[in-house]
Amino acid sequence: MAFEKVALPYAKDALAPNIGADTMEVHYEKHHTGYTSNLNKALEGTEWANKSIEEILSNLDALPADKQTAVRNNGGGFYNHNLFWVTMSPNGGGAPSGELADAINSAFGSFDEFKSQFAAKAGGQFGSGWGWLVVDGGALKIVSTPNQDNPISQGMTPILGVDVWEHAYYLNYQNRRPDYISAWWNVVNWDKVAELYAAAK
């Protein structure tokens, strides 16, 4: 069965002005569709076509050698954007609560300190990539990855990610990646992140 990208859980203009409808249109309909169809093409006819994307990204080295690069890039792009869409919401922003809030305070000192460290990591990723909040051996950590690499391939479980490829912000923010990250906090769906944290820890 072919991989299918998640349905967008809100309208394409719903995250504006933080992320505009024009960016959402191209990002969801063109970029994410491209990663998904290229992943399906790469896996077609292999035993990996019916495995979960998590299993595939955890075992890239076990794939046929001539498929590894395509699956790393496009499987990552498929998975990363699925997570990105569902961890944003027009009703997002604010701060987490409950167990996730406690874990963030305990790992980083405070929510503001977490935001500052996360923005620095994501903002400092050279070139294209992602900033992540991950669960690693039960502990929360902030990491970044280049291109479409995903922390799953390093044994970690991502629960929140921000896309810092220029295609994610250039129409709205041009070269101002820090402004994009600042605005992105306004749409983070902390209820969803808390759900992913509970499942991963």
Residues at the interface with Mn ion (CB under 5 A): 163, 165, 168
Choice between 71 and 104, CB closer to Mn ion = 71
Choice between 105 and 147, CB closer to Mn ion = 147
Other Cβ atoms closer than 10 A to 161: 23
Only one residue has tokens 């996360």, namely 118
Instruction: Report in angstroms how near the CB of residue 31 gets to Mn ion at its nearest.
Output: 5
Choice between 149 and 163, CB closer to Mn ion = 163
Instruction: Report in angstroms how near the CB of residue 49 gets to Mn ion at its nearest.
Output: 23
Euclidean distance between CA atoms 10 and 8, whole angstroms? 6
Choice between 29 and 102, CB closer to Mn ion = 29
Q: Which residue is nearest to Mn ion, using beta carbons?
A: 163
Euclidean distance between CA atoms 194 and 38, whole angstroms? 31
Instruction: Report in angstroms how near the CB of residue 11 gets to Mn ion at its nearest.
Output: 19
Instruction: Report in angstroms how near the CB of residue 23 gets to Mn ion at its nearest.
Output: 10
Residue 89 tokens read as 């919401």
How does DSSP assign 11-63, residue by residue?
-TTTTTTTS-HHHHHHIIIIIIHHHHHHHHHHHTTSGGGGS-HHHHHHTGGGS
Instruction: Report in angstroms how near the CB of residue 198 gets to Mn ion at its nearest.
Output: 26
Euclidean distance between CA atoms 163 and 25, whole angstroms? 15
Choice between 108 and 145, CB closer to Mn ion = 145
Give Cα separations from 189 to 1, 19, 184, 200 (angstroms). 29, 14, 10, 17
Choice between 3 and 48, CB closer to Mn ion = 3
Instruction: Report in angstroms how near the CB of residue 14 gets to Mn ion at its nearest.
Output: 18
Give Cα separations from 123 to 32, 83, 120, 149 (angstroms). 22, 19, 5, 16
